[in-house]
Structure 1
Amino acid sequence: MAKNLKKFIQCGRDPAYLKNGDIITEELAWEVVGQEGYADGCLDQEFEITQSRIVEDVIGGEGVYETIYRESPDHPWQYIGLCAAGKDKNLAPIHAKTTYVCSKYRAKNEVELQQHIRDAVEACRKVHERGNIPIAPHLYWPRFLDDNDPQDRDYGIAAGLEALKRCDEMIVIIRQEGPEEEWISQGMQAEIAAAAKMGIEPQFIYIGKEKR
C-alpha cells in the first residue's frame, strides 16, 4: 500500500515515516521534492531520479537532497531518502530500512565457518550499499557467546528473533553446496518461520550453482 500525504501530515511530517524503497502517492512525491524538483524530474523525459533543490542536510561534508524514483511514467513513485546530488543511495539512517540477514553460521570445519562468515559480511555490505541498515546477530553473538554451549546458543537464537521484530525486511542467504537438505539450517528455518508470522516476506538470495 502506497504511503500518502494525509498520513504524512497526521504524523507531523515525521521524517521517520518515509523509508528507503517505500511506494508513495504522486501527491506525496510532490510534497517531498517540492514543485520545482518534481517538475524537473518528469520521467517522460530523461530523468530516472528526481531530487529537491533544497539541501536537507550535510553528510560527510556533502549536501544531500530528498530523492524519489520511478522506473517509468506507468510505475509508482518510490521514496529513496536523502541522497547526494544525482545519486540514488540513501545516506540518512533515519530513512533506512532495517534488514535482517539470515544465513548459516554453524559449520563442520573452520574453512566452512569462515565461508559462512564471509557470506554474511558480504550480504551486510550489499544491504548497506542500498542505503539500509543490516542486522546480522550471528556475526556478533559469537564475539561473546559460545555457540557450542546450549544455553548460549538458545539465548542467541531467541535474542536474534527479538531483533527480527524490529526489522522491516529479511534476506535469506542460501549457499548451494552439499546436500540440498543442509542448505538451510534449523536456526535459519526458525527465523524464516518467525518472519512469516510477523508478515515479513523473506527475499531469498542463492549463492553457488544455479537455483533448481
Structure 2
Amino acid sequence: MNLYNAEGYIDLTAYEALSRIEREERKAKKAGSYRPVVYICSPYSQGCINDNIENARRYSRFAVDRHYIPIAPHLLFPQFMDDTLGEDRQTAMFMDLVLLTKCSQLWVFGDMRSKGMQQEIRWAKRRHMTIRYFTEELEEK
C-alpha cells in the first residue's frame, strides 16, 4: 500500500480506502468467506451463439463451484447491446476491459480464440494478471 499518489503527493483518502479494503479482504480470507473475482473468457458470436451462451453459463457455474465469483460480460451485455453494430461492439469491448481490471484472474475456456478473446488475453498479459486455461470439458491445461 502506497501513501503517495502517482504525482508523488501524500494521498491519505486513497491510502485509507485501499487499506480498509485490504483489511476487509484479509478478514474475509480468515473467515473462509473470501471469493476472488474471475473473468470468464469464452467465445460469444463465433459459431453457434446459443451453444456459446450455454457454455458460458456452464463455465460460470464451474467457477462458483470452486469458490470464485465469475464475471461473464458476454452473458450480460447482449441483453441490451447489439454485437453486430460497430459502436455497440466497441463500447462492449471497452466495458469488458474495465471489468477485467476488477478481476484477480482471467479464465480462458476452449481451444478457439475469437478476436474479442484475443484482445482480453492481451490486456490481461499487459496487466500481468494470472491467466488460467481450461478445456471445454473443464480440465485445466
- The answer, yes or no, to whether TM exceeds 0.5 is yes
| Matching residue of 1:166 | 102
Taking only the aligned residue pairs, the percentage that are identical comes to 29
In the TM superposition, residue 130 of structure 1 has moved relative to its aligned partner by 1.6
Partner of 1:97: 36
Structure-to-structure mapping, 1:49-64, within 5 angstroms: none
Aligned-partner Cα distance in 2 for 1:167–1:107: 24
Aligned partners of 1:19 and 1:202: how far apart in 2?
A: 24
Q: 1:115 & 1:192 partners in 2: Cα distance?
A: 22
Q: Deviations for 1:9-52, whole angstroms, at most 9, x for unmatched residues?
A: xx5782313676xxxxxxxxxxx5xxxxxxxxxxxxxxxxxxxx
The partner residue of 2:25 within 12, 16, 19 is: 16
TM-score calculated relative to the size of structure 2 = 0.76
Pairs aligned (count): 121
Q: Which amino acid aligns with 1:96?
A: R
- In structure 2, distance between residues paired with 1:19 and 1:156: 32
Structure 2 partner of 1:7:
none
Cα distance change on mapping 1:18 and 1:114 into 2, 3 Å: farther
Cα distance in structure 1, aligned partners of 2:28 and 2:127: 19
Q: Residues of 1 paired with 2:67 and 2:26: CA distance?
A: 16
Cross-structure match for 2:130? 201
- Give the drift of 1:154: 0.7
Query: SS of 1:139's equivalent?
Result: helix
What letter corresponds to residue 130 of structure 2 in structure 1?
E
**Greater shift in the superposed pair: 195-204 or 141-150:** 195-204
Rate the CA distance shift 1:158–1:129 in 2: closer, same or farther, 3 A: same
Q: In structure 2, list runs of 5 or more residues that go unmatched.
A: 1-18
Cα deviation per residue 1:87-135 (whole Å; 9 max; x = unaligned)?
Answer: xxxxxxxx21000000000134xxx111111111011101111222100
Query: Matches of residues 173-188 of structure 1 in structure 2 within 5 Å?
Result: 173-174=109-110, 176=111, 183-188=112-117
The answer to whether structure 1 residue 121 and structure 2 residue 50 are counterparts is no
**C-alpha distance in structure 2 between counterparts of 1:194 and 1:18, whole Å:** 30
AA in 1 matched with 2:38? T
After superposition, the C-alpha distances for 1:54-86 in whole angstroms (9 at most, x for unaligned) are xxxxxxxxxxxx3xxxxxxxxxxxxxx23xxxx
Which structure is higher in strand share?
1
1:115 alignment partner, SS class: helix
Q: Kindly tell me: are residues 138 and 18 of structure 1, through their superposed partners in 2, closer, same or farther at Cα, counting changes over 3 Å?
A: farther
